[in-house]
Amino acid sequence: MAVREANHLVRERIELPVKYDGGKQTIRDSQGMIVCDIKGWIELDIDKTGDSHYIIGEKVAKLLNESGAYQSEDSFRESEVG
């Protein structure tokens, strides 16, 4: 899936901003819809502390919120042209 297509999908389906819920290990949008399930990612053990799901969850939520998907329609169109 191309970045533009992914941004359109996010803008159409997800009510930004999203946030990571460490207790439930999910990323949810502002309406409470599950956007991403981080359960089981602890086994990756990226930082050798067992906190990988927190690191991944926070990073994914931050990237979604900072992506072009969180821009206005006009600025989104400009980013597609440029």
What is the C-alpha separation between 33 and 73, in angstroms, rounded? 22
| Sheet strand arrangement including 26-28 | 19-21, 26-28, 34-37
- pLDDT, tens only, 34-75: 988 888 766 666 667 667 778 888 998 998 888 755 454 444
DSSP state of 31: T
- pLDDT, tens only, 1-29: 677 777 677 677 788 899 999 889 899 99
Tell me if 39 sits within 8 A of 54, measured CB to CB.
no
Taken in order 23, 28, 32, 35, the sign of the CA dihedral is negative
